[in-house]
Structure 1
């Protein structure tokens, strides 16, 4: 839609930057390892962390154990996301970003299947990012499609919940998808 989007990375892309297995990124976040990678440097979308590319590419040089970034991987990640973006360094620089969990709340959809069907049938706007296997959109991309969704719907109203949108713009959204779902041994310990 003509917006310049920021370059982002998920766990898989972060791992590509440093030529490690994606599980290594989770270990860098692990409290038992002293959180080498501070979780607050990421944004959480649909329960998953995503980082600004500028931060992720510089991170290796800031750790006590220097890690060399793979500049070819960085170029490839930029190419995959389109060459007209920009490289933020802080999560606070990012526009509101949504995934399927947040979109369900924006439109008050009855099920995730409703949204998945709409996406599969090509009635939903194309995702702005495909990161670590997940589709993400800028909030404005989704809101720009609201009228079209209402006009082409058979039964659902596709009404926008303005309170949810306001919370997302203000950075105060705390609904489904706003927290990382902890798995494994840390989930049992309450991290």
Structure 2
């Protein structure tokens, strides 16, 4: 098998520019609504130049999903079994909220893929995502069994963290419209979610 030649600096820059443009278009239009012409225009490149780097919009979308899932799951990977449980969980919530603030297009890209039934991300979900969630759910259950966190279903705890943080990216327009001017939804959400999860997970609480 022939080893691919490493990209030149210009080629790497063009590739990154194309992926940034594709992310913008996919996050706005979804996979089905996005076209190569739109991505080429957003990247400031010709369509043939675009196809030199990626043979199809499917290839661009897959590259974005691969990169995104790796970044998206890092805060969960960093949940330390040897750490203090409440602080580890609250740090995870805060990092997920920060990612929603700093990476709203990536969050919407992933949400669009899920709404379409994950036709391209299915193997990622069944493989690395499930394996990681299973591993961290076991850590959470250990903490609960040791009496260091209240007993709640660990997978559903993770789901609730995803839902309560990524909402601020996927529905940002709605959130800002409801709160009105003069509010920073992410600062306010940080304090609120800290309170919610502390109360939920304080040892001795009865899960219902």
If the length of structure 2 is used for normalisation, what is the TM-score? 0.27
If the length of structure 1 is used for normalisation, what is the TM-score? 0.28
By relative contact order (CA 8 Å, sep 6+), the higher-ranking structure is 1
Q: Which has the higher strand share?
A: 1
Q: Which has the higher helix share?
A: 2
